[in-house]
Amino acid sequence: SFIGEESVAAGEGSVLTDNPTWIIDPIDGTTNFVHRFPFVAVSIGFVVNKKIEFGIVYSCVEDKMYTARKGKGAFCNGQKLQVSGQEDITKSLLVTELGSNRDPEAIKIILSNMERLLSIPIHG
């Protein structure tokens, strides 16, 4: 099976089943793309029994290929990635994205979440 982000965004229905399924977003970061902001990628995932098996993200502008496989780790251009060992949240950097939904109820939830995040004593 195939699930395409662009077709789902256009209103086509999609159901994730236990069948092997490719999930594809050919322009991941569409809003960035439209505004010529350089963070755009092609994202592909493969799911079996509703569980991700592997994923590939190609960051076009940076010419970086990110790959990950269940139980095998994640890589960037073939080099293994790892999370930092930082355990002190006051020395951590928090990154978030607000999304594009401007429904009043969604905005309330987003702002509530942001308020909770901003109260954490993070580095930045």
pTM for this prediction: 0.76
Q: Please tell me the total count of domains within the chain.
A: 1
Are 27 and 38 in contact, with CB atoms under 8 Å apart? no
Q: What is the pLDDT of residues 27-56, one digit of tens each?
A: 888 888 999 888 899 999 999 999 999 999
Residue 7 has pLDDT above 70, yes or no: no
Q: What angle do CA 114, 57, 78 make, to 5 degrees?
A: 120
Residue 97 included in any domain: no
Report the binding-site residues for Mg(2+). Answer: 5, 25, 27-28
Residue 103 has pLDDT above 90, yes or no: yes
Residue 114 has pLDDT above 80, yes or no: yes
CATH number of the CATH domain containing 21:
3.30.540.10
Report the binding-site residues. Answer: 5, 25, 27-28
Structural domain of residue 25, as residue ranges? 2-84
